[in-house]
Amino acid sequence: MSGDVVSAADGRARPGDWPGASEWVPRGRSVAALADAAQRCRGCDLFRDTTQAVMGSGPADAELVLVGEQPGDREDVEGEPFVGPAGRLLDAALTEAGLDPSAVYRTNVVKHFRHTDRGGKRIHKSPARWQVAKCEPWLLAELDRVRPRGAVLLGATAGQEAFGATFRVGESRGRWLPWPQAWPAHRGEFTLATPHPASVLRSRRRDEDLAALVADLRVAAELLT
């Protein structure tokens, strides 16, 4: 079964060779069960050269979900989302915006760390659109189980996963956006887009961009009241 798929696809990263994640997603309502199951996922080629799959973390009944892109180098090693530098900045911004970091559920569009090796260092590489599509069943399963009222889309990968390839964070940030049609609705009331905290870390106008991130997160906090 999955073993055949992997060997048939070995050495090639052609989208059609990979089945997508759905056959590995367990039934039921448990959020905790997803992280275990994702370790076996062979839905696309990204499980290779990684330490582990990184599923979301946070309260299973959180009102707010934060959706990033994919685990980074630290997250791959530790098995938790947003534990590296971008995560620390995000937590500080959440607190500043009046949101309790321990009350939100953090996750990513893609569950394995895509990277290239350069001089022995693992350099982040954004997932391709086809890899995002293959991995989507995991995010949909999380949303179906956590049933949040709102979701913050951190950066272009999350924004485009929700609203399609033409979505631009810069044009839509910091205001109420609808709950995406393809997502399990349940309590879903809104999404809100904002630039990824990693882009704030890289910015030459870091203080300004951090203040703008905080302002966007304040809007999310208000939408929850």
User: What is the binding site for ligand SF4 (CB under 6 A)?
Assistant: 21, 38, 41-44, 46-47, 53, 110-112, 134-135, 138
- Taking CB under 6 A as the binding criterion, the range among 13-21, 75-83, 199-207, 216-224 that sits at the site for ligand URA is 75-83
192 backbone dihedrals φ, ψ, rounded to 5°: -150, 130
Name the pairing type of β-strands 121-124 and 115-118: antiparallel
* CA distances to 82, 93, 103, 131 from 99, in Å: 16, 9, 8, 31
Interface with ligand URA in residues 29-68 (CB under 6 A):
68
Shortest separation between residue 225's beta carbon and ligand URA, angstroms: 27
Shortest separation between residue 111's beta carbon and ligand URA, angstroms: 10
d(CA 165, CA 160): 5
- Partner whose footprint covers residue 44, from ligand URA, ligand SF4, none (CB < 5 to 8 Å by kind): ligand SF4
Q: What is the total count of residues that contact ligand URA (CB under 6 A)?
A: 13
User: Which member of 86, 93, 146, 151 binds ligand URA (CB under 6 A)?
Assistant: 86
Contact between 195 and ligand URA (CB under 6 A)?
no
- Per-position DSSP letters for 165-215, written without gaps between them: TT--HHHHBTS-BPPPTTS--TT--EEEEE--HHHHHH-TTHHHHHHHHHH
- Partner whose footprint covers residue 86, from ligand URA, ligand SF4, none (CB < 5 to 8 Å by kind): ligand URA
Nearest to 111 by CA among 168, 67, 163: 67
DSSP 58: S
Stretch 100-139: interaction string toward ligand URA, x if CB under 6 A:
--------x-------------------------------
Angle, helices 85-96 vs 206-224, to 10°: value is 60
What residues line the site for ligand URA (CB under 6 A)? Answer: 68-72, 75, 81-82, 84, 86-87, 108, 198
